[in-house]
Homo-oligomer: A and B are copies of this chain.
């Protein structure tokens, strides 16, 4: 770490000036200030001596750290993992590195950002839904003129660039599948971010001449336990619906789990369709039918967008929506 060769040592070894070495190292192809012969000698010496450019020195001179910071709300493990994979693959091609920062509380996020800023990242990404408490502090980054792109559901941070999955299409896809299976009484269990899909959901209902009244719209929380609650409630209400659409797969898995415990057959008595298509969705019993969100693609698209914005920081915010996809598995079937 400390005893690495520098550009001047190579210069000395080869017998040229450090400027020449610098030019060749930065871009061997079009370093017109060096003859092919010296270029070769420099490249060869650099390889032999194990030269690795010092990014700190470059950052200082060029005012660019080649670092991108990602703020991870840490509310869903495997989802973020996939997104980061996509981000990583894109950034790598452009020689940027990803600084990963996980936060829990607003004050912690703030101190993390302060610490991150000493590294002068060229851009910022956020992943996961940005709940109210964090909006102000992240919003401040944008006001300060930082390049920032969020990977999120549609309603996260207004005024910021974002990549998300078309919520209307999610609702449409879910409704279409459920109707095609023959369901006429559907439980729409989605609060928070899930509300955004409702327009698409109802649109599809209308298109297939189904009155909205046949659906029960239930505002709910989120998470595994919330899923269990939804199921219990459905049971207590006397199983009026034959299918349930729920906004994320964690909640859907809660429904499946409680159904298993209460010995209610899925999908015979209740069809379940989720949203996300997480790592575990296909592992559930029965395998969960769900609306797949292209997590890797979201990460990749966000990284591309961020790179664009870093090149042209004054551009107005950009929004990109990707299309979800129905993953037909075993938790949906015809009603009895």
A binding-site residues for B, Cβ under 8 Å: 1-2, 4, 52-60, 63, 65-67, 70, 74, 77-78, 80-82, 84-85, 88-89, 92, 95, 97-102, 108, 112, 114-120, 122, 145-146, 224, 250, 253-254, 256-257, 260-261, 278-280, 282-287
Residues of B within 8 A of A145 (CB): 1
A1 to B100, Cβ gap below 8 A?
A: no
A77 to B118, Cβ gap below 8 A?
A: no
CA distance A4 to B67 in the complex (A): 17
Residues of B within 8 A of A286 (CB): 260
Residue of B nearest to A81 (CB): B77
Residues of B within 8 A of A1 (CB): 63, 120, 122, 145-146
B97 to A84, Cβ gap below 8 A?
A: no
A118 to B55, Cβ gap below 8 A?
A: yes
B77 to A102, Cβ gap below 8 A?
A: no
Option from B55, B78, B253, B285 in Cβ contact (under 8 Å) with A260: B285
Option from B4, B80, B81, B119 in Cβ contact (under 8 Å) with A97: B119
CA distance A130 to B33 in the complex (A): 44
Residues of B within 8 A of A92 (CB): 108, 112, 115
B100 to A98, Cβ gap below 8 A?
A: yes
Option from B52, B81, B260 in Cβ contact (under 8 Å) with A81: B81
B101 to A101, Cβ gap below 8 A?
A: no
Given contacts A280-B279, A283-B250, whether A54 and B256 have CB atoms under 8 Å apart is no
- A297 to chain B minimum Cβ distance, whole angstroms, is 16
A283 to B224, Cβ gap below 8 A?
A: yes
Jot down 22 A-B pairs with beta carbons below 8 A, ordered by A.
A1-B63, A1-B145, A52-B117, A52-B118, A55-B56, A56-B57, A56-B120, A58-B118, A60-B60, A67-B99, A77-B81, A78-B81, A97-B115, A97-B119, A100-B100, A224-B283, A257-B283, A257-B285, A261-B285, A280-B280, A280-B283, A284-B285
CA distance A20 to B74 in the complex (A): 40
CA distance A146 to B52 in the complex (A): 15
A101 to B112, Cβ gap below 8 A?
A: no
CA distance A146 to B82 in the complex (A): 29
Residue of B nearest to A285 (CB): B260
Residues of B within 8 A of A81 (CB): 74, 77-78, 80-81
- A296 to chain B minimum Cβ distance, whole angstroms, is 11
A-B pairs with the 10 shortest C-beta distances?
Answer: A280-B280, A77-B81, A56-B59, A260-B285, A77-B78, A100-B100, A55-B118, A253-B283, A78-B78, A88-B102
- A42 to chain B minimum Cβ distance, whole angstroms, is 18
CA distance A80 to B102 in the complex (A): 13
CA distance A286 to B261 in the complex (A): 8
Given contacts A1-B63, A120-B1, A120-B54, whether A285 and B283 have CB atoms under 8 Å apart is no
B52 to A60, Cβ gap below 8 A?
A: no
Given contacts A78-B78, A260-B285, whether A84 and B100 have CB atoms under 8 Å apart is yes
A98 to B101, Cβ gap below 8 A?
A: yes
